[in-house]
Structure 1
Amino acid sequence: MFSSSTTPKTSDFEVSSPPTDGISNLVFNGQQDLLSATSWDCQTRIYQVLPNGSTEPKAAIQHEGPSLSSAWSKDGTKLLSVGCDKAGRLMDLNTGQTTQVAAHDAPIKCVRFIDGGNMSNVAVTASWDKTVRYWDLRSQAPISQLLVSSLPERCYTMDVTYPLMVVGTAERHLFLYNLTNPTVVFKQILSPLKWQTRVVSCFPSASGFAIGSVEGRVGIQYVEDKDQSQNFSFKCHREDDKKNVYCVNDISFHPIHGTFSTAGADGTFNFWDKEAKCRLKAFSSIGTPISCTAFNKNGSIFAYAASYDWSKGHGTIFTQYTINIYLSLRA
């Protein structure tokens, strides 16, 4: 069991000119404090975060359908954005130009850049068409593709910390890859959680990953067989235990300390220490689901998005919810 303490929510900085529809993904640039935000309003926006916490909109990538995920190149000069238009669109910050560099047969749910080994300047995309595809951005052509038989279901989530890549699909399948051999599944397992997978997030050490589900639970999983005794799961984002259970929408690891955050449909986020198995901080609800989160390059800024997360289905009138991005400079 995790021990806990509760910290009242205090005012954080609001991002100027936020998206106008649900926010699906937040990612910080690894070289400077630029924040990308993908949205169901079909745009991926880039914000400059200033030292005082204020923000300036810098650029945007336009999609022909909802934008679902984005990733920054290692050198911080390029942003790759994917979405429901089945396209991966790459913006070069130096020129301001955007070109299509990736494509799938169905909406693209996730994108990451791979940093390490022989995979430099390679991006990986995962789609509802049940494929994972690698793209060499120098040639704008796929360098390898995992066929439909390799993913039995639609991709819901993916994360990469070289050499580890974890892909989560429908029906609770998890596929682990050693990116030194990127077309071969290193290990295939079922989620340790009983309900639909919402998010996976690799440890900064690449020794394992955290997984969150719609049932308000998080699992901590190690890759190597010798470390399996360290696996465990715990409850979070619940009220009165099982009376009100909320989706775990995102898990973000602190880049320096290895602690992590969870954010949920209950409008709260918590900070955790997996080594000590304790909750470091718990914050009160902001009244709107938190759909995604991100730490900046040194963990000094924590960004979280308030918007409808579809956890109550398409029938909910989500216009009643706030749509905004907040920055906490005390993380």
Structure 2
Amino acid sequence: MAPPATQFELAQPPNDAISALAFAPDAPSRLLVSSWDKNIYLYDTLQNSGDGSHGVLLQTYENRAPVMDVCFGADGNEAFSAGMDWQVRRIDLETGEQTTLSKHAAPVRRVVYSREHSLLISASWDSTLHIHNPTNLSLTPLAIPLPGKPHALAASPSKVIVAMTSRLVHIYDISALSNALALQTNEPPQPWQQRESSLKFLTRAVAAMPSDAGYATSSIEGRVAVEWFDASAESQARKYAFKCHRTAQPASTTSDTPVDVVFPVNALAFHPVHGSTFASGGGDATVALWDAEAKRRMKVYQKFADSVAALAFSADGRYLAVGVCPGFETGMEDYNGEGRTKIFVRELGENEALPKGKGK
């Protein structure tokens, strides 16, 4: 097979806005995409059809309502979805069979799977987390009440980060969640840490460092914050936030000062190999690479035609998937992503995501 172009567009994209992208844990070309068009799409990004287009749509999984999030499970044949129909589902990607694991009392915003603990965590706008063990469906999912509406969720090897309204951030120890689920306790475990977000405006995305050291959050107001789990004063002094995904407009006739046009930072993803490197994607239609340790921008890719809605690195770190569609900034009344929704896959150069000064 000939190597793909540095960046290519997948054939047969969704018909409406993209809500999430996820690469399989055991296959760098197996990509899941969830969409507001009520479908989940499974692609082989490197298998090409005879017409010269890139990628092959392997299967579509239909839902009754828009799909808000999707993730892989223990392997490349298991997936989980979060829906506007309030349900958390397991999908057998081989047979297409869908099983409801739990039902919330409002739309489910996010799902994350912890391979280290074989746990699935869902976050719903009913202000709860549900903890599931997909390998033991006899266990009743554990419901954990939250003090705010969750908007972003991420899992590191040992922690789950929940970002909510009112700048609330709760961090849970996954082992404690696993133990509470196994014991079927009526007393939900308390957060390992409770924090106030470093960002002043609504959190749009959160991503966990693969090193288990910390996480990054982004807001609707063109900022990203990087924080560490360690609660010591020394570690907390290292946290920082910075402006990004903004464009400067020239000074107007009434003012000599250029004006920043601010865009939401919709997506974050840490590189699985070079753990301090992460990507951000924004409403300004750009993707940037950052070095979290060195506090520097490494790269900005060419501008896309529309807002960047979702990002995902392949498990081997060689590929970055970018979901592009019109943003919701102008409202939903006349929204139409059909024909403008696109998925791009970039094959990273050998040292493209390598932090400066670090060897191979």
Same fold, TM exceeding 0.5? yes
Rounded Cα–Cα distance in structure 2 between residues aligned with 1:233 and 1:275: 12
| Counterpart selection for 2:209 from 196, 200, 203 | 203
Q: 1:156 aligns with which of 145, 151, 159?
A: 151
**1:43-80 CA distances to partner (integer Å, 9 max, x unpaired)?**
11111122679311112222211101111112222011
| Structure 2 residue 165 is the aligned partner of structure 1 residue 166 | no
Report the equivalent of 1:80.
80
Contact 2:306 2:327 in 1 (8 A): no
Task: Indicate the residue corresponding to 2:125 in structure 1.
Answer: 128
Q: TM-score, normalised by structure 1?
A: 0.90
Structure possessing the higher relative contact order (Cα contacts under 8 Å, 6 or more residues apart): 1
Cα drift, residue 314 of structure 1? 2.2
More displaced stretch, 16-25 vs 238-247: 238-247
> Which residue is equivalent to 2:25?
30
Aligned-residue sequence identity (percent) comes to 29
Tell me which residue corresponds to 1:41: 37
| C-alpha distance in 1 between matches for 2:40 and 2:94 | 17
Contact 1:88 1:101 in 2 (8 A): yes
Q: 1:106 touches 1:127 (CA, 8 Å); kept in 2?
A: yes
Partner residue, 1:221: 227
Say whether the 8 Å CA contact 1:308–1:321 is kept in structure 2: no
Please say which of residues 241-250 and 135-144 is displaced more in the overlay: 135-144
Q: Which residue of 2 aligns with 1:13?
A: 8
> 1:161 and 1:185, CA in 2 relative to 1: closer, same or farther beyond 3 A?
same
**SS in structure 2 of the partner of residue 142 of structure 1:** coil
Q: Give 1:272's aligned residue.
A: 290
Aligned to 1:263: 281
Deviation at 1:103, TM superposition (A): 1.4
Shift of the 194–161 alpha-carbon distance from structure 1 to 2, 3 Å rule, reads: same
Contact 1:307 1:321 in 2 (8 A): no
Match of 1:239 in 2: 247
1:306 aligns with 2:324: yes
CA shift at 1:320, angstroms? 8.4
Structure 2: stretches of 5+ with no match in the other structure: 178-188, 249-257, 350-360
- Give runs of aligned pairs for residues 179-194 of structure 1, distance below 5 A: 179-182=174-177, 183-194=189-200
Cα gap change, 1:41 to 1:132, in 2 (>3 Å)? same
Moved more, 151-160 or 234-243: 234-243
Residue 138 (1) aligns with residue 135 (2): yes
AA at the equivalent of 1:36: L
Give the C-alpha shift of residue 93 in structure 1. 2.8
Distance 2:112 2:337 in 1: 30
- Give the partner amino acid of 2:239: N
**Is 1:284 aligned to 2:297, yes or no?**
no
Query: In 2, distance between residues paired with 1:83 and 1:320?
Result: 20
Code of the residue aligned with 1:233 in structure 2: it is A
Distance 1:215 1:324 in 2: 24
Equivalent residues of 2:306, 2:325 under 8 A apart: yes
Q: What do you get for the CA RMSD once the two structures are aligned?
A: 1.9
Deviation string for 1:86-112 (max 9, x for gaps)?
112222134332222221111000001
Asked whether 1:96 is paired with 2:92, we answer: no
SS, match of residue 243 in structure 1: strand
Higher Rg = 2
Work out the CA distance in 2 between the residues paired with 1:285 and 1:320.
20
Tell me, yes or no, if structure 1 residue 248 matches structure 2 residue 265: yes
Q: Show the counterpart of 2:108.
A: 108
Larger mean Cα displacement after TM superposition, 57-66 or 123-132: 57-66
Deviation larger for 132-141 or 308-317 = 308-317
Q: Say which SS state the counterpart of residue 317 (structure 2) adopts.
A: coil
**Which amino acid in 2 is paired with 1:124?**
I
Q: Would the alpha carbon gap of residues 317 and 133 (structure 1) be closer, same or farther in structure 2, given more than 3 Å must change? A: closer
Q: What secondary structure is seen at the aligned counterpart in 2 of 1:171?
A: helix
Distance in 1 of aligned mates of 2:303 and 2:334: 19
Contact 2:6–2:348 (8 Å) recurs in 1: no
Match of 1:7 in 2: none
Alpha carbons 1:44, 1:61 under 8 Å: kept = yes
Amino acid at match of 2:246: R
* Cα distance change, pair 16–328 in 1 and its aligned pair in 2 (3 A): same
Aligned to 2:184: none
Is 1:61–1:81's contact at 8 Å kept on the other side of the alignment?
Answer: no
